[in-house]
């Protein structure tokens, strides 16, 4: 788990051979960088004499970009280029084929290496093993031979590699971050642009980052040195799930960048792609060897790099902070088994588990030991497993203790429905969950982890709150609340410390409700999540959501179904080339600089995205809108204080958005206003026992259209909500509030979290008549040796 990020660091304060760092930085680029920039300049010649809209490079970039986005074949590009030359009689300064066009991108450094691998993933055929025909570990042949049949008999076909890996060199990619002035400036944001007020908004605010700086002073002395995270997961590159195929990419994320950029796909680094059809499993370290070698070289020796923001050369060093993966993949990357008796990596050998004889699985309970020593639950035998809990919270192992454990015990193996069908969520909030509902067998399938969080945190509490007893509903709602607080963009240390206690109490309540078979390892690891956020910072920089979306992008590159991994790597490099060139060619639109699908032009309050029409308000509507604008101006504010019966405090009104109006005055002053159908707060709004807000649109605030009505509000005063039909009350809908996407408040210390309903869980240990304890009273128990 990520808590190891703080404990696994070495105590050295030097960075490899730091004497190689120039004491007197060289002004301007070195010869290699100058040649590279000259190559870029030479490619940027006129498309034809007198052309002002395109250069040769910008035209090629635009053409190759369309090839990537619209999945055009190589032959199609050849025909396009042939047609252009025929039409303009060789006047164009363009290559003659797709091969020549791609050669330009190769010269700019957008290439990859291919290595054959053992079919059983024992080794890579590289370096001294490059010319071998069989694996030195298992003896398996390197080749798969195709046999073709003819009339004269069988014919032996061409030898092909049984398994391959494609690797994209890291150094050239990292150097390109500093080639552009704008990007080079952003690479120092974590030190120069960050608000350092003790609130955690970025990994640089976390103790793990600061402890790393303390232990590696020379590395931290140059803020341009790069810190990376590594993510990996498998996916099926084919459109049908009937084909079993697992392709494994390894992706790097750069944490030097600000939070609104570092988790964007345009700044992800695809490092390597492992061929299917079988995943690498726990032998993934074999495929990581080239990346690890390059990372070690970048850590120890560094790479001489030109910084466009300072016009100087500097020695760039790189550090890998942590890995990002789902829990099953954690076992592959770490070597710690996530199954069996000691499945929790944080608890380690102190994991509490028991084997369910009839359930044929391990059960992980024992969460009472994380409670304070005087907590009432520790002496509650009846509600839990019939014992008192005297054990203390397990102590996390230090980095040196983990290393000794690996070396001495060989742990790390080194190889050579409520009706979800009708639920509609806001655009971009989640995928269409209704499409994943199968009514024939009343099941849900194919959801990503983000959609499961939407279910757990928002939809399931609505469905169960009147279907189950309160003692079951309350801890389930609180569990969702804990995750919503954990996923906040901004958190204080005190919030996370309190959240850690809430997780423990909630899991103890769940132990009172659910049988032991419910508690597999995924339920147990939740007890450590708040502690990891305390160490490593906000979770959105370490979770799998953006990488799962990136896998979908990679899948779209896989046009060649016979060799999907090769087309995936080529498609990524082409996209990366377009993004890189866009930093020099302003007329080239890429994912890096093109407007968003619902572009708001950078205004956090938003703007209209559809076609607008110009019209004049009638007298009644004008009075309504103009009066509301006056009541919210600074000129009228002093008179509001003279009200003899003032009401101070927020008053929430809920409604449907019916129209968006921009009021324009003759002095060019503009106000964007929302016109809504408002709910009557007396008859149309209600709050249930679990503090869910319900609204009924049969009870509107204004039933008649009069000049005294106030249907308009300023757009800046609105907050987005969405409504879910109540499963028990047909005319009522449950209000779900949501935080605005894509906004990062880098100065406020208020937690940026989706609003949730706080549940105060009772800690009484007495059972009610209708409650059922897990202990059979009146019977003698048997003592069983746990080692049996």
Write phi, then psi, for 695 (nearest 5 degrees).
-130, 155
How does pLDDT run across 179-235, given as a tens digit for each residue?
888 889 999 999 888 888 888 889 999 999 999 999 999 999 999 999 999 999 888
Quickly state the pLDDT bin for 594 (edges 50, 70, 90). Answer: low
Q: Do 392 and 468 reside in the same domain of the chain?
A: yes
Is the pLDDT confidence value at 544 over 90? Answer: no
Q: Determine which of 3-12, 34-43, 514-523 has the lowest per-residue pLDDT on average.
A: 3-12
Share of the chain above pLDDT 70, in %: 75
| pLDDT for 320 beyond 90 | yes
What pLDDT was estimated at residue 252? Answer: 95
CB-based contacts of 637-643 (< 8 A; 24+ apart in sequence): none
**Mean pLDDT of the residues in the chain:** 78
Burial class (CB in 10 A: 0-12, 13-18, 19+), 104: buried
The pLDDT of residue 291 is above 90 = yes
- Rounded CA separation 577/105 (Å): 7
Give the range with max mean pLDDT: 85-94, 116-125, 341-350, 416-425.
Answer: 116-125
Name every residue whose Cβ is closer than 8 Å to that of residue 219 and which is 6 or more positions away in sequence: 15, 213, 225, 317, 319
**Residue 512, in any domain of the structure:** yes
- Does the CA dihedral 123-128-134-138 come out positive or negative? negative
- The pLDDT, as a whole number, for residue 236 is 85
Q: Is 745 exposed, middle or buried (0-12, 13-18, 19+ CB in 10 A)?
A: middle
Predicted pLDDT of residue 423: 61
Determine phi and psi for 721, rounding to 5 degrees.
Answer: -135, 165
User: Both 239 and 351 in a single domain?
Assistant: no
DSSP state of 456: I
Q: Is residue 47, in this structure, part of any structural domain at all?
A: no
What's the CA gap between 158 and 145, in Å, rounded? 6
Dihedral pair phi/psi, residue 214, rounded to 5°:
-65, -35
The tokens for 400 are 């040196």
- Note the pLDDT of residue 268: 92
Largest CA distance in the chain: 106
pLDDT at residue 666 tops 70: yes
Crossing angle of helices 470-486/493-513, nearest 10°?
A: 150
Sheet holding 721-725, edge to edge: 685-687, 693-695, 733-737, 721-725
Question: Does 283 lie in the same domain as 196?
Answer: yes
139 pLDDT more than 90: no
Domain C-terminal end among 298, 324, 350: 324
131 located within any domain: no
Q: What is the pLDDT of residue 426?
A: 63
List, as own/partner pairs, every contact residues 139-148 make where C-beta atoms lie below 8 angstroms and the sequence separation is at least 24, other chains included.
142/116, 142/118, 144/119
CA dist 405 and 409 (Å) reads: 6
The total of structural domains in the chain comes to 3
User: Which residues have a Cβ under 8 Å from the Cβ of 150 and sit 6 or more positions away?
Assistant: none
Closest to 100 (Cα-Cα) out of 80, 115, 86: 80
Which H/E stretch holds residue 721? strand 721-725
d(CA 45, CA 58): 9
* pLDDT tens digits along 85-119: 888 766 678 888 888 888 877 877 888 999 999 99
**Domain-embedded: residue 145:** no
Predicted confidence at residue 525, as pLDDT, reads 86
d(CA 105, CA 683): 66
CA-to-CA separations, 777 to 3, 57, 384, 772, 781, in angstroms, rounded: 41, 82, 13, 12, 10
Domain edge (last residue) among 289, 324, 359: 324
Q: Are residues 368 and 467 in the same domain?
A: yes
pLDDT at 654: 92
Measured CA to CA in angstroms, residue 15 lies from 23, 177, 212, 223, 302 at distances of: 15, 21, 12, 14, 9
At 683, phi and psi to the nearest 5? -105, -20
pLDDT of 768 > 60? The answer is: no
Same domain, 340 and 411: yes
State whether 197 and 277 are in the same domain: yes
d(CA 481, CA 472): 15
**Among the listed ranges 458-467, 495-504, 652-661, which one has the minimum average pLDDT value?**
458-467
- Boundary residue ending a domain (280, 300, 324): 324
Q: Do residues 685 and 695 touch, judged by C-beta distance below 8 A?
A: yes
Q: In angstroms, what CA-CA distances link 272 with 262, 289, 291, 600?
A: 19, 11, 8, 35
Looking at residue 379, the DSSP 8-state letter turns out to be: G
Query: Does 692 map to a domain?
Result: yes
61, 589 contact by CB (below 8 A):
no
Residue 761 has pLDDT above 70, yes or no: no
Going by pLDDT thresholds of 50, 70 and 90, the confidence category of residue 241 is: low
Pair 653, 723 in one domain: yes
Q: Is the pTM of this model over 0.85?
A: no
| Ranges 111-120, 754-763, 779-788, most confident | 111-120
Cα torsion 571, 573, 576, 580: sign: negative
Q: With a cut of 90, say whether residue 269 has pLDDT above it.
A: yes
pLDDT recorded at residue 213: 92
Asked, as a colleague might, if the bond just before 96 is cis with ω within 30 of 0, I would say no
Q: What is the pLDDT of residues 719-748, one digit of tens each?
A: 888 888 887 788 898 888 876 666 666 655
pLDDT at 294 over 90: yes
User: If DSSP codes are grouped into helix, strand and coil, which group holds residue 734?
Assistant: strand
Of residues 144 and 771, the one with the higher pLDDT is: 144
Ranking 128-137, 300-309, 442-451, 753-762 by mean pLDDT, the lowest is: 753-762
Report the pLDDT value the prediction gives residue 415, as an integer from 0 to 100: 43
- Distance CA(499)–CA(766), nearest Å, equals 25
Place of tokens 């560094």: 302
Using one digit for the tens of pLDDT, what is the confidence trace for 377-397? 888 888 887 788 888 888 887
pLDDT at 408: 64
For the record, the structure tokens of 753 come out as 């979290």
Is the pLDDT assigned to residue 635 strictly greater than 80? Answer: no
Q: Which two tokens stand for residue 118?
A: 């053992």
Mean pLDDT for 695-704 is 89
Pair (454, 317) in one structural domain: no
pLDDT band at 414 (very low <50, low <70, confident <90, very high): very low
703: tokens are: 């039933």
Q: Does residue 471 lie in a domain region?
A: yes
Given a cut of 50, whether residue 360 has pLDDT beyond it is yes
Predicted pLDDT of residue 216? 93
Domain match, 314 and 285 both = yes
Give the mean model confidence (pLDDT) for residues 118-129: 90
Q: How many CB atoms lie within 10 A of CB 276?
A: 21
Cα separation, 323 vs 527, whole angstroms = 20
In a domain, 500, yes or no: yes
Query: Does 627 lie in the same domain as 709?
Result: yes
Q: Where are the alpha helices (DSSP H) in 44-108?
A: 56-70, 74-88, 98-107
pLDDT at 4: 34
pLDDT on residue 295: 95
- Report whether 331 contacts 343 (CB < 8 A): no
Residue 117 lies in a domain: no
Q: Give the percent of the chain with pLDDT over 90.
A: 15
- 207-215 and 529-536 helices, crossing angle to 10°: 50
Looking at the structure, do residues 492 and 453 belong to the same domain, yes or no?
yes
**Residue 340 and residue 487 in one domain:** yes
Residue 566 has pLDDT above 90, yes or no: no
**pLDDT above 80 for 26:** no
Q: What is the reported pLDDT for 601? A: 42
Mean pLDDT lowest among 21-25, 32-36, 263-267: 21-25
498-542: per-residue pLDDT in tens? 999 999 999 888 888 888 888 888 888 888 989 988 888 888 888
Domain that holds residue 528: 334-416+448-544
User: What digits encode the pLDDT tens for the residues 600-625?
Assistant: 444 444 555 566 777 777 888 888 88
């Amino acid at each position: 788990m990520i808590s190891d990020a703080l404990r696994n660091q070495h105590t050295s304060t030097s960075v490899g051979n730091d004497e190689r760092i120039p004491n007197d930085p060289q002004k301007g680029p070195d010869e290699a960088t100058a040649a590279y920039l000259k190559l870029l300049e030479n490619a940027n010649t006129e498309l034809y004499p007198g052309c002002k809209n395109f250069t040769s490079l910008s035209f090629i970039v635009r053409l190759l970009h369309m090839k990537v986005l619209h999945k055009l074949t190589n032959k199609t590009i050849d025909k396009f280029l042939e047609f252009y030359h025929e039409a303009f009689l060789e006047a164009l300064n363009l290559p003659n084929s797709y091969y020549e066009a791609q050669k330009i991108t190769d010269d700019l450094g957008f290439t990859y290496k291919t290595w054959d691998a053992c079919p059983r993933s024992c080794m890579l055929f590289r370096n001294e093993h490059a010319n071998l025909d069989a694996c030195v570990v298992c003896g398996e042949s390197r080749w798969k031979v195709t046999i073709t049949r003819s009339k004269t008999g069988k014919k032996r076909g061409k030898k092909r590699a049984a398994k391959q890996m494609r690797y994209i060199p890291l150094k050239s990619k990292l150097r390109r971050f500093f080639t552009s002035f704008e990007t080079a400036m952003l690479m120092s944001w974590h030190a120069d642009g960050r608000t350092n007020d003790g609130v955690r908004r970025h990994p640089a605010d976390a103790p793990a980052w600061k402890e790393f700086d303390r232990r590696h002073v020379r590395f931290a002395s140059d803020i341009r040195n790069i810190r990376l995270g590594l993510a990996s997961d498998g996916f099926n590159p084919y459109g049908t799930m009937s084909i079993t195929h697992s392709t494994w990419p390894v992706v790097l994320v750069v944490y030097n960048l600000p939070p609104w950029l570092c988790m964007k796909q345009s700044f992800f680094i695809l490092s390597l792609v492992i061929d299917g059809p079988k995943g690498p499993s726990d032998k993934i370290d074999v495929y990581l060897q080239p990346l690890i070698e390059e990372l070690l070289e970048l850590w120890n020796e560094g790479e001489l790099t030109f910084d466009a923001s300072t016009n100087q050369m500097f020695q760039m060093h790189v550090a890998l902070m942590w890995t990002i993966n789902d829990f099953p993949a954690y076992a592959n990357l770490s070597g710690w088994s996530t199954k069996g008796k000691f499945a929790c990596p944080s608890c380690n050998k102190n994991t509490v588990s028991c084997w369910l004889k009839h359930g044929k699985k391990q059960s992980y309970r024992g969460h009472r030991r994380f409670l304070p020593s005087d907590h009432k639950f520790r002496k509650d035998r009846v509600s839990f497993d019939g014992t008192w809990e005297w054990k203390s919270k397990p102590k996390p192992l230090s980095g040196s203790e983990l290393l000794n454990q690996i070396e001495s015990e060989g742990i790390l193996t080194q190889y050579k429905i409520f009706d979800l069908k009708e639920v509609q969520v806001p655009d971009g909030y989640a995928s269409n969950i209704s499409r994943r509902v199968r009514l024939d067998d009343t099941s849900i399938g194919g959801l990503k982890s983000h959609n499961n969080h939407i279910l757990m945190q928002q939809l399931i509490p609505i469905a169960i709150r009147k279907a189950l007893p309160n003692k079951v509903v309350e801890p389930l709602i609180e569990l969702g609340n804990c995750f919503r607080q954990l996923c906040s963009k901004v958190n204080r240390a005190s919030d996370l410390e309190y959240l850690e206690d809430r997780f423990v109490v909630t899991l103890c309540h769940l132990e009172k409700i659910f049988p032991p078979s419910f508690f597999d390892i995924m339920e147990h690891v939740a007890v450590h999540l708040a502690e990891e956020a305390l160490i490593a910072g906000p979770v959105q920089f370490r979770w799998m959501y953006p990488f799962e979306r990136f896998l979908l992008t990679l899948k779209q590159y896989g046009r060649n179904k016979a060799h999907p991994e090769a087309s995936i790597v080529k498609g990524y490099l082409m996209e990366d080339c377009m993004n890189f060139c866009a930093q020099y060619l302003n007329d080239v639109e890429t994912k890096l600089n093109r407007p968003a699908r619902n572009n708001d032009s950078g205004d956090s309050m938003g703007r209209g995205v559809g076609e607008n029409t110009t019209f004049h308000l009638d007298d009644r509507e004008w009075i309504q809108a103009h009066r509301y604008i006056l009541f919210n101006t600074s000129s009228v504010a002093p008179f509001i204080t003279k009200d003899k019966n003032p009401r101070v405090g927020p008053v929430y009104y809920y409604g449907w958005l019916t129209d968006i109006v921009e009021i324009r005055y003759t002095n060019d002053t503009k106000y964007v206003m929302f016109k809504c159908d408002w709910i009557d707060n007396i008859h149309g709004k209600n709050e249930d026992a679990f503090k869910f807000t319900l609204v009924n649109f049969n009870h509107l605030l204004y039933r008649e259209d009069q000049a005294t009505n106030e249907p308009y509000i300023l757009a800046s005063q609105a907050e987005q909500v969405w409504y879910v039909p109540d499963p028990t009350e047909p005319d009522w809908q449950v209000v779900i509030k949501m935080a605005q996407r894509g906004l990062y408040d880098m100065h406020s210390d208020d937690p940026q979290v989706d609003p949730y309903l706080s549940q105060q869980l009772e800690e009484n240990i007495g059972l009610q008549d209708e409650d059922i304890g897990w202990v059979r009273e009146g019977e003698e128990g048997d003592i069983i040796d746990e080692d049996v």
